[in-house]
Structure formats: structure tokens, C-alpha cells
Amino acid sequence: MSLFYWFIWGDRFVKKTQLFLVEHLIMKKLMGQKRDFQNKLKPYLECKDFTVSGESYKVLFNPDYEMLVTSPVPEDLEKYYKSDDYISHTDSRKSFIDIIYHSVKRSTLRRKLALINSFNTKIKSILDIGAGTGDFLKICAANNWNISGVEPNSDARKISKTKGVLLKKELDQLENKKFDVITLWHVLEHVENLSHYIFKLKQLLSDNGRLLIAVPNYKSYDAKYYKEFWAAFDVPRHLWHFSQQSIHKIFSKEQMSVEKIIPMKFDSFYVSLLSEKYKTGKMNLINAFYRGFVSNLKGKSTSEYSSLIYVIKKG
């Protein structure tokens, strides 16, 4: 009988030990990557938080990944999202910029829906991370998608609930699930533990699924023109500032590859409008439209648009 118990519990002990060792090696790898992002950092420019605090932050260049890193990261980062100007959490329509944002939102949502429909998935399960007030998931549900969403901001979750879209607070609440499509619309730049987060995204993605990452591109014309006033730096909320090279390299380390890159052409106009406000204190609608137009024009030859959507798959 004692031999029988040793066989049962001894086997469980071995399996638990093996699992612990695997998890330890994974975390060691992820921590190593986190250190890589902080290595060899060089001064790039200094930016101001124009939305909440007025504080200044350094933006540093990582030559190995061709990405920028915000420094320092505030310990109480959540308070830097508490502003009516942070429109994705409030559905605000108070300012002229808010009105412009919402006037094109319906068109943007239709384009996002057309993109995910192009994958021809059978189960049609989608996870939207950083779902805000739930508008994207609402249109997905209306088009026969099985929806799930994550949004850490409690006010945004409450607004989403009024639209019939129930959101989770954290990604960990979705363990042991798989999704055909996972979307992060301007979210990855906010993630603190970048390596660990990408690892979790891969675990949640089905084998033939697609991960859609939309992020600003600091190599765009409008970024270079506005420099420290470029609204998409959005320090300290944006912790990372990506290039095409950095996205390719970061995801390749997780055995994932970029299948397609799609420009978000409206972003150049919206970002330029905000950047004009930060730089001059005025809207300067004509100049903002011109800079946005030039950015898209140059993007045709360089592929360096203001924001880009990366379609990413496993393997």
C-alpha cells in the first residue's frame, strides 16, 4: 500500500517539480528580455505630460530594439489616466477634439470589423484588450462574434456595461481560454511588463489565430516634425514607443511573426491636431491637416505612417 501511495503522490511531486522548473525558466527568460529593453539606453528627447500632470519625462533610445523607453515610470501610474481628456475612458464630447474623434469613430469601427472578418474564422471568438467603453466589442457582437474584453479602468467598464458589454478587469481572469482574434488598439504602449504580457497573449491565442496590435510609430513624419510636442508620445502613460523593427524583433523572440502591416491614416490628422495644441496652445486646424496630409504622403514611400496595425501570428 505504501508503494501505491508513493507511485501516486511521487508522480504528482515530479510533475509539480517539472512544472515549477518550466515556469522558472520562462520567467527567467522574460526577466532577461525586460532587462534587454532597459539596456544601453541613450538620450533621445524630453517630453511633458500635457494631459494630466505637466511633469517632464525622459524618452530614451534603445539601439538594440530601435525603440524608445519612457523614464522614469511613476509608481502610481493609474492616477495619470484620471482626466476627462482621456477620451477612451469617458466617451467625452466636451471639446472640439472630442467631437472630431467621435465623428470618425463609426468609420474606424467599420474598418476594424472588416479586418477581423477577413480572417474567416470558424468559431469567431474575439478578445479586445483595453476595450475602453466597449464600442468595438458592441459592433463585433452585432456581427455574430463571440466577444470577451478586458479594461482595467472602472469608469470605462461601467459605461461599457450600459451598452450591454461586460468587461473583465484583468487578463489573468481569462486563463485556459483561446481566441481566434485578439486585438489591442493602442494598448501595448501602456503595458508595464512587456515581455510577460506578450507571453500571456500568445497563450490566449489559438494556433491559427491572429493578434492585432495598433501602436504609434515614432519614425513617422509627424513624430519627427513635432518632436517633444508629438501627442502620441503621451508620457508617462505611453511607456514604450515602437518602430517596425522593434515590433518584429520583440515578437520574434516569442516565436511569433508579423504577417501584415496596415497604416492607420486618420491617426496622423488627429495626432497632428493635438500636437499643434501642445506646441502652440491653439488648434491650428489648417496646419494640423497639412502636417497630417504630408505624413500620409511620405508614408506611401517610406511605410512610416503615424500609427500602424501589425497582424501577428504564431510561428
106: domain CATH number is 3.40.50.150
Q: How confident is the model at residue 176 (pLDDT cuts 50, 70, 90)?
A: confident
Is pLDDT at 32 greater than 70 in this prediction? Answer: no
Q: What is the mean pLDDT of residues 27-39?
A: 65
**Position 288: which residue type?**
A
Contact between 307 and 216 under an 8 Å Cβ cutoff? The reply is yes
Q: 147: domain range?
A: 38-314
Out of 77-81, 134-138, 235-239, which region has the weakest mean confidence (pLDDT)?
77-81
Q: What is the mean pLDDT of residues 26-33?
A: 53
H or E element: which one contains 257? Answer: strand 256-263
In 3D space, the residue among 84, 93, 13 whose CA is nearest the CA of residue 51 turns out to be 84
Between residues 39 and 136, the one the model is more confident about:
136
H helices of the chain, in order, are 2-37, 96-117, 135-141, 154-162, 194-204, 221-226, 244-252, 265-280, 285-302
State the pLDDT at residue 283.
84
Distance CA 165, CA 159 (A): 9
Is pLDDT at 13 greater than 70 in this prediction? Answer: no
User: Is residue 159, in this structure, part of any structural domain at all?
Assistant: yes
User: Is residue 258, in this structure, part of any structural domain at all?
Assistant: yes
Is pLDDT at 119 greater than 60 in this prediction? Answer: yes
Is pLDDT at 7 greater than 70 in this prediction? Answer: no
User: Is residue 241, in this structure, part of any structural domain at all?
Assistant: yes
Q: Is 131 helix (H, G, I), strand (E, B) or coil?
A: coil
User: Is residue 14, in this structure, part of any structural domain at all?
Assistant: no
* Number of domains making up the chain: 1
pTM metric for this prediction: 0.86
